Amino acid sequence: MKTVRQLTGQVMQGLFGPGKDTQARNARYHDILDASNSGVFEWDISRREIFLNRRVITTLQIEAEPGWVPDSILMEVFPEYERNRLMNLYGKLDGDDETRRVEAVCLDRKGEKIFVQISGRVVTDEYGNTEKILGLIHDVSQQKKREERLRHEALHDYLTGLPNRTLLVDRIQHILTRLKRNSDLNATLLFIDIDNFKTINNNMGQGFGDDVLVSLGERLTNIVRAADTVSRLGSDEFVILLEDPTTSDIAHMLATRLLEKLQRPLRVQNKIVNLTFSVGLVLIDDPDASVEIVLGDADIAMYAAKDKGKGMVVPFDTTMRKQAAKRLDIETALRQAIDNEELYLVYQPIFSIDGCDEPDAIGVEALLRWTKSTRGNIAPGELLAVAEENGLIEDIGLWVITTACKQLARWQKEGFPADFYININLSSRHFDDDAIVEYMTREIDRYGVPRNGIRIEIVESAVIRNPENALSVIERLKDEGIFVSIDDFGTGFSSLSYLHRFPFYALKIDRSFIIDVLESEASQNIITAIILMAKKLGIRVVAEGIEESDQLQFLKTAGCEMVQGYLLARPETTPEVDRFFVDAEWVEARLAGS
């Protein structure tokens, strides 16, 4: 391999011939090398000089002209640790004539890093001693930036810039490895979920929802230490990893304080957003645990927090795993239930007692049931809790509407009273937007039943969750002739404040007041007050859970208009319900036997 000096001689000889001006020959030679897009160098070891073409000079921002310069000029652009590394590498190349590549970092005049790739080959003399190094220098800074960006994107969330699941898993694994060496070095993991985040996306748009997540990520980062990890797992789920050893009680106390700070009003796009969060807490103290177990336990604890009312911290305990496994089993089966026709409705008659000698059946409440051959009937509360949790409650609600409309149309053809109606229960999720109005009116008109033949019952949480949206939807339903009642009245804290704002058709007194009404004067006074207040507001009153004739008598005396309960009729499939409205003798005998 010829050196740059040897090449110089050949090039100048060919271009100018012997005896021509040396300065002109050098200039021409430099022009040829500078025409290359590569940085070219020749390092003369014995003379401690190095030839640099213009590309090297500009790439490394060296204050010198192209040509031969002292090698110290080049070495000065490398930080001391890189100079030492390169010199050590040079020492290992003695006698090696293979082309080698190495990456290094230089510093420009502003101290900014320049990443370069150096390709070089050692030239030895006739005795095998290193004489020169010939090579190329390429600026690979842009490539390094791309690689760094790709590494960052692989380990961080695209929206918030927080560590993602991959990086979080690595850090949890680091803690578990540390635990194997020292069992006292535990850590705390908090699994955080925004309660009812879907409402924000539905009402304000996904762009606003994204801004909420970004702002929330910033708040989380600001309320923990720099050494702690704040990660976004996806959607509205965040994880905080606190690596300080602690006890379960202290971890719970710290998590509760953190939650208080987290739930302060958040300003997004000049709007104030009030959020609540469900937090699952896991103390990472088992060196034999896996990352999957740690995250799974935290997720289970988070859902336990939701079940307990949201806006709280719940520490994990091992009994939760069985409950979670059961819920997963139910969820998996529930996803196939509608297609397999495993869901069905039963109907509990509603009776008028206002001005009647005997209770008069005037309508029914549709109640959801699910039969699975492998497990028998699933408890309604368990079914609805799982459906609410995994989002299937919305589809189930639509199925209930269609099924009730279809059943009411059949009953009308069979001669049921024209004012007969079916009450259905809808989830708070159905009141996130007014799509439910469009669906109900379409199905009612499709089956040709009266608008007031299908009525809705909602619990107070459906109103509290997003009052303004709920009010808008209920007003639209009323405009379409669809009645809405509030269920389980008296069990919440805000029921009274909503009664004068919302156009409720009726309120249903919760069964907890009915159970002890005969023994409790307080319950009697509460029921009487509710009935009087409702009448003043023009709202009808229904009492549920009637199981004794004396309870029925008290409610009639107090002015309650409608009742339902096991005393009069249990939830039944359609054949049994049919008899209430077509077999007067059977009804009379049944009521007499009650």
Q: What pLDDT is attached to residue 127?
A: 77
Q: What is the spatial distance between Cα 221 and Cα 223, in angstroms, rounded to a whole number?
A: 6
Does 327 have pLDDT greater than 80? Answer: no
Phi, psi of 72 (to 5 degrees): -65, -30
For residue 81 the two structure tokens come to 């640790």
Express each pLDDT in 137-176 by its tens digit: 888 888 888 888 888 888 899 899 999 999 999 999 999 9
Q: What is the mean pLDDT of residues 234-254?
A: 91
Q: What is the spatial distance between Cα 269 and Cα 274, in angstroms, rounded to a whole number?
A: 13
Q: Tell me which H or E stretch contains 444.
A: helix 435-447
Q: What is the spatial distance between Cα 121 and Cα 214, in angstroms, rounded to a whole number?
A: 51
Express each pLDDT in 277-323 by its tens digit: 999 999 999 989 999 999 999 999 998 898 887 889 999 998 888 87
Q: What pLDDT is attached to residue 583?
A: 63
Q: What is the spatial distance between Cα 69 and Cα 292, in angstroms, rounded to a whole number?
A: 60
- Enumerate the β-bridge partners of residue 553: none
Mean of the per-residue pLDDT values for the chain? 84
**pTM for the whole structure:** 0.58
* Burial grade of 195 (CB within 10 A; 0-12, 13-18, 19 or more): middle
Q: In what order do the strands lie in the sheet with 187-194?
A: 229-234, 237-242, 187-194, 277-284, 313-315
Express each pLDDT in 390-419 by its tens digit: 777 888 899 999 999 999 999 999 888 889
